[in-house]
Every structure is written in C-alpha cells, then in structure tokens.
Amino acid sequence: MKWPFPYKLDHIGIAVSSLKDGGKLYQALGFTQVHVEDVVGEGVKVGTYELANEARIELLEPLGENSPVAKFLEKRGPGVHHICLRVEGLAKILQQLKTAGIRLVYDEPRPGAHGCMISFIHPASAGGVLIELSEKKSKGAP
C-alpha cells in the first residue's frame, strides 16, 4: 500500500424517511437504483444509485426508531448524512487516525453495505462532517 493512499470518493450518503419518497428525485433525474440492502448493524436500509464515475449516491432509510439515521432525521430532517472515502488498509488507517487523536465511531473495521468493511470519523473531529471510510472486503481485510 502506498502512503498516503489516494483516497477515492465512493459515495455520498443521504438520510431519507423512506427510500420510495427519497428516491423520486433521483428517478426523475434518470438514475437507476442498482441495489437495496438492509445493513442491520447500522440500522439502515441502503438504496444505491450509481453515477458515471464509479461514485454512488446512497439513500439511507432508518430500519427502526433506534437507528442512528432515525435520530439524525429527528434532529436535522432529511439531507446529506455522510461522505464515504474508499480506502485500502482500513485497520491501519484507523490506527493512525486514532494515534493522531482523531475521534472514530468504531476503532475496528466492521461490516457495511456491499460486503465492505467500514468505520467513520466522528463529525466532532471532521468539521461537522461524518466521514465513512470503506474498504472492499477482498482487499487486505482480515
């Protein structure tokens, strides 16, 4: 792995109360929903729309009242929830960020959508932005 790793924008996560209603705009724009998945560990149903440059938009519908996305919607209403950067060597990156005093939501990688391993940099350490770090499981995951 080269360091610093050339981060790629993987997707932008947008909180919606329902995929059906939240997806209407993207359908009107001509986007196709390519994937829907319940990520139970994160309490969200994820609807994925692929863009032409390999980046994606993910709509996040809460799976229940205790979902972090439900709390987000309650506090701030629908809108941009997080950005996601594609990385390699996630465990090592998390370690380095932690050493640098950056607050993480999860210290260790955990399962996200699309069979990826993920964690988040807490908005308190990222200028108010929730940053997801995601690694494809096939590459360098334990």
Interface with Zn ion (CB under 5 A): 13, 84, 132
3-state secondary structure the chain: CCCCCCCEEEEEEEECCCHHHHCHHHHHCCCCEEEEEEEHHHCEEEEEEECCCCCEEEEEEECCCCCHHHHHHHHHCCEEEEEEEECCCHHHHHHHHHHCCCCECCCCCEECHHHEEEEEECHHHCCCCCEEEEEECCCCCC
Toward Zn ion, which CB reaches closer, 69 or 84?
Answer: 84
Closer to Zn ion by Cβ: residue 132 or 135: 132
Minimum CB distance to Zn ion, residue 132 (Å): 5
Q: Which is nearer to Zn ion, 48 or 97 (CB)?
A: 48
CB of 117 to Zn ion, least distance (A): 12
- The nearest distance, CB 85 to Zn ion, in angstroms, is 10
The CB-nearest residue to Zn ion is 13
